[in-house]
Structure 1
C-alpha cells in the first residue's frame, strides 16, 4: 500500500506523510498461550499497528501480535518496516518514543532533563502533529464499539474483523460521514487517556538509527526554529 497524503507543513513541521501507533483491542482470555495476550495494563488484548494520514484515513495496518508484545517489536517485524523507505520517499512518519528514530520514522527526543530549547520545541511540534493517530483510533472505536471488547474467540477471525472495521472506517472518511458532537467529546477524552499511557510505553526502547538522529537534529536545529 502506497502511503499518500499526509501532514506535511502542518504547524511548521515539514515532510510528514502520516502518523504511526499501536492500539490494544481487548479480547476474552484465549485458550492457547493466554499469558502472551496479557498486556502491561493487565487485560488480554491483540495488537493493531496503524498508519493514518491527516484525514484520519488508515493507510496501513498490521494486526495479530499478542498484547504483551511491545510496539517497537511489532513495527520491526511488520512488512511496513522493510518497505518504509520505498513508501515514504523523501517524507516520513511520526511516532512516539516507543519506536526507534529512523530516517523515515521520526520520534521525540528522550527527555532526561537535558533537552535543549530546540529539542523541546521539536517534541512539542511532533506531539501537535501526532494527535491525528489517537483521534483515528478514537473514531474507529466509536464507530465500531465492539472494538472496545471483542467477544470473538478465534484469533484469525478477530484479526479479520478488525481489518473489516478499518475498511469501513475509511469508507466513512471518504464519504465525509460526520461524528456527532457527543461522540467527538468521547474521542477527545480517549485521546487524553491514551496520551498518558504513551508516556510510559518505553520498556523495550530500541537503538535509534544514525540517519534518523541526524535528520531529527537537522529539523530541530534548522527548520522548526525559523
Structure 2
C-alpha cells in the first residue's frame, strides 16, 4: 500500500496550472497586497531510527537522526512539490540546489515566485526576507512582516501533515527507500484529504513543528550569490507594500 500510494504522487502532487496560479496569486495579493506568490517553500526534518547505511550523515544539528523533506504548498495547504531523502545533516540550501524543482523553477514559475525563509537563496523565483542586523528601514521591516505572515501557510502545512500522520514525528524505520516512500505516501494522502475537507479541520490546532536547522544567510557554505534581478524584484515589492 505504501508503494502504491507513493507511485500516485505524480497524479496527486502537481504544480499549479495557469488558472490555479492566478487563484493562488490573487489570494495572497488580497491578503496583504503582496504580489506574485504562487507557493511557499520550506524544509522539515522527519526523525528516524538509526538508518542501515551511513548513519552518521543522518545526524542533524539537533543531534538526532532525520531525513530532510522539502515541500512547496499553496494557500489551501495543498502540497504542490515534494523532494525528500537527503540526510538530516544536509542544509536546506543544498537540498534545494540539487532538487528537480531548482532545475525547472524558472519554467514553472515564470513571472511568479515562491516565498522561502533565510535558508534559501534570493532568486527571481524565490523571494526571501531581508537579513535583520538592526539596520533595516521601515519599508524593509514591513516587507519582512508581510513575508512571514504569508509563509505561515507552509508552517501550517507541515504541522497538519505531521498531526494527521503522527508517525512522521518519529518514523521508526531504518530503510531509507521505505522511509522516502512512506513520506511521499503521507503527502499523497494529505492532498487527497484536502479534497474531502479533512486535513483543513486540523489547521488551527496543529502542534508546533521543529523547523529545519538554519544557517546564517551570509554563511559562505551556502555558496550562492544573490541574483541582481531578484534583488531588484524584491525592492520593487518593498515599494509596492509601502510602510
Matched, 1:54 2:71: no
CA RMSD of aligned residues (A): 1.9
Matched, 1:85 2:106: yes
Query: Shift of residue 155 of structure 1?
Result: 0.2
Question: 2:208 aligns to what SS in structure 1?
Answer: helix
- Deviations, residues 127-157 of structure 1 (Å, cap 9, x unaligned): 0000100000000001100000111121011
Query: Shift of residue 2 of structure 1?
Result: 2.8
| Structure 1 segment 68-217 matched on structure 2, within 5 A | 68-177=89-198, 184-185=204-205, 187=206, 189-190=207-208, 194=211, 200-202=214-216, 204-205=221-222, 206-217=224-235
Structure having greater relative contact order (Cα 8 Å, sep ≥ 6): 2
Query: Shift of residue 29 of structure 1?
Result: 1.1
- Deviations, residues 54-85 of structure 1 (Å, cap 9, x unaligned): 00000000011000000000000000001111
Query: Shift of residue 92 of structure 1?
Result: 0.5
- Alpha-carbon spacing, 1:88–1:180, altered in 2? closer, same or farther (3 Å): closer
- Deviations, residues 22-59 of structure 1 (Å, cap 9, x unaligned): 00000011232111100011100000000000000000
The answer for unaligned runs of 5 or more in structure 1 is none
The answer for unaligned runs of 5 or more in structure 2 is 1-13
Bigger shift: 60-69 or 171-180?
Answer: 171-180
Matched, 1:63 2:84: yes
Q: Which runs of 4+ in 1 moved over 4 A?
A: 178-181
